[in-house]
């Protein structure tokens, strides 16, 4: 096994001298924290154990007890944890996760999904020694269901590590997993547990490749479709660790630091446990996934001696290197390959209502708006639970039966964001998109993000319908409006997209290779030529074709197309190309990110929130929810409620209900 840690054995090591240095650093009033952190983070764990023994021999005291006494807070947790051996550190984390009233399922998942058989056996023995208890019994007591069963399977440490692969068994396992999930109604969870819990890493990687050919989707997507709750999160973690343990930890580190607070226990646990094994690989994966170095993320999110210690464990700033790591480039190539192979099943949250009666709905809506006051709940209950096609029938019935315009009546009765939301739902998708484009351009400022979001994600058919709706509503062409409100290369990109002339169909492999070479060559041209060449390919080729182009681009440049766009371009041009690439790679993930940005921070971009919820609810909002939960570790429903957005939108919980309706 090749170790790619940032912490290695210190040369010319003298445990007695180090013990004396630490003793002097804690002697007297106050502590020399810098001396402590510099010494501890420049020694391997094995050397730290020798220092502990030397400290007791020289001074008759327990080094860990002294460190606990002298240090405080997160810095104390970090330094003391570094002094424990890996098995005892893991054992303590598991013990802390299951003791007391609640259970830290995320900690259990992270440790048990990522450790090899030897690490598992050593951890179990350390747990028994430290706490006089059986780890398996404690986990059984504290968990339940399929989640518990999979944890216990992993805890046995019996995963095949021989490296021998039986090709026939690979095919059989792939077929069995498909039969256990996607092929049938319901899920055979036991089959998932048996295969993912016992087969070797090499074997499972081949199973995953075979599975994608059978199911036309990744094993991860199937797990999201078939499983739920902590069991889903555990199986996803196992699958991610089979793919790449460093990428799994890169994602965990990012989630521990993003947003307003920091999950310090997670951050400490990972930085300690991986510092001597694969921290260099984790750094590469982190930069690949988030276009930012782990080092700079730690700088931005922590402070003081705690920060300095973490940075020493991190070992360096990859942003200074300026180049894309070859190992990470290979992973990027594989990610585009998976994206190209995966056939995503789009799942809406709003479907046609059964036993639909447009006349009855029209009468009910009129009743809700008659007299003094408005029955907003009744309006919400009807509009939120009908498909758009059904809402159009209600509009027609309202006019036929009552001689009134439903949309005008709704506008007069509702106000603010609830009015925007309900009216948005009552418009046809083409009318709604046209209105959103107009709103993005009217007045003094321009909402470039809205223009990009709509034009980068709509099909040719949707764009043509939107163009017709725009001309009908505003008596001019959408192209003319864009040209009068934007300029330069950004204007050209939008005009190209608004033609609705993107090619359709599968990738042309030979042409994709040529396109990738052209994009690679354009990276060496001046900015104007580079942007024009990117536009000529990104705005005209089919998404299937672009996936192959972006994959081959990695091979030619050793860099990912997203990183090039972020590094070499700026402003609205950068945002437009980046949106296209993200949409090509994973459109639900792109929308999940847009929703997160609309709600994070102090204010809420209500227009963006309404636009996405309305436009995607009958297409892929369920997929977006899944991506949101995986990326941000909180459900979209919870995020809307926690941010108070549902109250701001409609004085109740309707938007949250709408998000979760199936």
| Higher-pLDDT residue of 169, 262 | 169
- The conformation of residue 278, written as its DSSP 8-state character, comes to T
In the predicted model, what is the mean pLDDT of residues 299-312? 95
In the predicted model, what is the mean pLDDT of residues 306-319? 91
Residues 6+ apart with CB under 8 A from 387: 350, 351, 352, 353, 618
Ramachandran bin of 373, using left for φ above 0, alpha for ψ from -120 to 50, beta for the remaining angles? left
pLDDT at residue 371, as a whole number: 77
Measured CA to CA, the distance from residue 139 to residue 107 in angstroms comes to 12
- Domains of the chain plus CATH, in order, are 86-156 (1.10.220.10), 167-243 (1.10.220.10), 358-426 (1.10.220.10), 429-499 (1.10.220.10), 587-649 (1.10.220.10)
In the predicted model, what is the mean pLDDT of residues 233-240? 96
pLDDT at residue 324, as a whole number: 53
pLDDT at residue 322, as a whole number: 54
pLDDT at residue 657, as a whole number: 46
- The closest alpha carbon to 439, from 458, 453, 457, 456, belongs to 453
Residues 6+ apart with CB under 8 A from 75: 33, 37, 304, 305, 306, 309
Measured CA to CA, the distance from residue 74 to residue 640 in angstroms comes to 31
55 neighbors 22 (Cβ within 8 angstroms): yes
pLDDT surpassing 50 at residue 648: no
Q: What stretches of 403-428 show up as alpha helix (H) in DSSP? A: 406-413, 416-426
| Higher-pLDDT residue of 267, 166 | 267
DSSP labels, 384-397: TTS-HHHHHHHHHH
Computed over every residue of the chain, the mean pLDDT equals 90
656 pLDDT band, cuts 50/70/90, is very low
pLDDT at residue 626, as a whole number: 85
580 pLDDT band, cuts 50/70/90, is very high
Proportion of the chain above pLDDT 90, given as a percent: 72
- The tens digit of pLDDT for each residue in 603-638 reads 788 899 999 999 999 999 988 988 888 887 778 888
Per-state percent for the chain, helix, strand, coil, to nearest 5: 70, 0, 30
pLDDT surpassing 80 at residue 212: yes
Q: Give me the long-range contacts of 458-461 (CB less than 8 A, separation at least 24).
A: 458/433, 458/500, 459/500, 460/500, 460/501, 460/502, 460/504, 461/500
Min mean pLDDT across 94-98, 203-207, 327-331 is at: 327-331
């Amino acid at each position: 096994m090749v170790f790619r840690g940032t912490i290695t054995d210190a040369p010319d090591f003298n445990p007695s001298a180090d013990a004396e240095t630490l003793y002097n650093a804690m002697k007297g009033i106050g502590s020399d924290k810098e001396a402590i952190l510099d010494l501890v983070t420049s020694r391997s764990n094995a050397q730290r154990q020798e220092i502990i023994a030397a400290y007791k021999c020289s001074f008759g005291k327990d080094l860990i007890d002294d460190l606990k006494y002298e240090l405080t807070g997160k810095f104390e947790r970090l330094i003391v944890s570094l002094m424990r051996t890996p098995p005892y550190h893991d054992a303590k984390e598991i013990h802390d996760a299951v003791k007391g009233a609640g259970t830290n399922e995320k900690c259990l998942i992270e440790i048990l999904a990522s450790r090899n058989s030897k690490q598992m056996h050593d951890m179990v023995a350390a747990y028994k020694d430290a706490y006089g208890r059986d780890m398996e019994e404690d986990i059984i007591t504290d968990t339940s269901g399929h989640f518990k069963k999979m944890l216990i399977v992993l805890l046995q440490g019996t995963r095949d590590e021989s490296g021998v692969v039986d090709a026939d068994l690979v095919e059989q396992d792939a077929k069995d997993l498909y039969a256990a999930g996607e092929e049938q109604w319901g899920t055979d969870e036991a089959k998932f547990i048996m295969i993912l819990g016992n087969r070797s890493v090499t074997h499972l990687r081949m199973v995953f490749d075979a599975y994608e050919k059978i199911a036309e989707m990744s094993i991860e997507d199937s797990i999201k479709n078939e499983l739920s709750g902590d069991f889903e999160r555990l199986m996803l973690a196992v699958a991610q660790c089979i793919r790449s343990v460093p990428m799994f930890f890169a994602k965990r580190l990012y989630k521990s630091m993003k947003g307003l607070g920091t999950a310090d226990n997670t951050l400490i646990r990972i930085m300690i446990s991986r510092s001597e094994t694969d921290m260099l690989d984790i750094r590469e994966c982190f930069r690949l996934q988030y276009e930012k170095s782990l080092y700079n993320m730690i700088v931005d999110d922590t402070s003081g001696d705690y920060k300095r210690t973490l940075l020493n464990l991190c070992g360096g700033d990859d942003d200074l290197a300026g180049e894309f790591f070859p190992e990470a480039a290979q992973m990027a190539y594989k990610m585009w390959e998976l994206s190209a192979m995966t056939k995503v099943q789009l799942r809406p949250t709003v479907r046609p209502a059964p036993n639909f009666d447009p006349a009855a709905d029209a009468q009910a809506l009129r009743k809700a708006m008659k007299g003094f006051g408005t029955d907003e709940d009744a309006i919400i209950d009807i509009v939120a639970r009908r498909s758009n096609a059904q809402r159009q029938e209600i509009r027609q019935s309202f006019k036929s039966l009552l001689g009134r315009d439903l949309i005008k009546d709704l506008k007069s009765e509702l106000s603010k964001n609830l009015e925007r939301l309900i009216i948005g739902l009552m418009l046809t998708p083409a009318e709604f998109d046209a209105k959103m484009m107009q709103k993005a351009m009217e007045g003094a400022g321009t909402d470039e993000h809205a223009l990009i979001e709509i034009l980068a994600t709509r099909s040719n058919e949707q764009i043509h319908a939107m163009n017709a709706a725009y001309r009908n509503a505003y008596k001019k062409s959408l192209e003319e409006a864009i040209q009068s409100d934007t300029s330069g290369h950004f204007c050209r990109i939008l005009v190209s997209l608004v033609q609705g002339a993107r090619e359709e169909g599968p990738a042309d492999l030979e042409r994709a290779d040529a396109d990738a070479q052209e994009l690679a060559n354009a990276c060496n041209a001046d900015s104007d030529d580079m942007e024009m060449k990117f536009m000529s390919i990104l705005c005209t080729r089919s998404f299937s074709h672009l996936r192959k182009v972006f994959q081959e681009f990695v091979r030619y440049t050793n860099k990912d197309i997203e990183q090039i766009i972020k590094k070499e371009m700026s402003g609205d041009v950068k945002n437009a190309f980046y949106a296209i690439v993200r949409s090509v790679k994973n459109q639900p993930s792109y929308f999940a990110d847009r929703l997160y940005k609309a709600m994070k921070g102090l204010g809420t971009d209500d227009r963006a929130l309404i636009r996405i919820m309305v436009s995607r609810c009958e297409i892929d909002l369920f997929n977006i929810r899944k991506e949101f939960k995986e990326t941000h570790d909180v459900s979209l429903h919870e995020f809307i409620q926690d941010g108070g957005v549902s109250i701001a939108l409609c004085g109740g919980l309707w938007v949250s209900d709408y998000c979760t309706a199936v």
